[in-house]
Amino acid sequence: MKLNDLATAIGGKVLAGEDRPDVEIDYAFAADLLSDVLSLAEEEDRTTLVTGMINPQVMRVAEILGIAAVIVVRGKLPPASMVEYAEELGIPLLTTCKTMFETCGVMYADGVRPSRTKPVHETRDCP
């Protein structure tokens, strides 16, 4: 789905990347720990990150991983420095008052799919 349609669906506000409403959001990954994002997100898909983190490291991780867009959940308002950095990088940044669960649910219902991830059993013995 397109960035603009996504913003409408999750009742979100586009803080950075308003000039790029047509960015395609096809795959997503949700996490609140940066290393979990870094350990699991595969490179093949242009992944959108759904997170509750609003520290500067989020955009740096997004830059390193080539993240398509960042959606901040639970009504958190990213600081101006994070918004400016997102603009500089050309990575759209959205904020929504919905919870992470609800945001992901709406996105899934609208056709966004889980980003390909490395299987967790690569890092841990799962039953």
Binding site for another protein (CB under 8 A): 32-36, 38-39, 43, 53, 55-58, 60-61, 63-66, 118, 122-124
H helix count then E strand count, the chain = 5, 6
* Alpha-carbon distances, residue 70 vs 41, 60, 87, 121 (angstroms): 14, 11, 12, 27
Nearer to another protein (CB atom), residue 8 or residue 99: 99
Contacts of residue 61, Cβ cutoff 8 Å, sequence gap at least 6: 34, 37, 38, 49, 67
Nearer to another protein (CB atom), residue 11 or residue 56: 56
* Alpha-carbon distances, residue 31 vs 13, 56, 62, 80 (angstroms): 20, 16, 13, 22
**In whole angstroms, how close is the CB of 98 to another protein at the nearest point?**
20
**In whole angstroms, how close is the CB of 8 to another protein at the nearest point?**
28
Nearer to another protein (CB atom), residue 34 or residue 97: 34
Nearer to another protein (CB atom), residue 64 or residue 77: 64
**In whole angstroms, how close is the CB of 92 to another protein at the nearest point?**
18
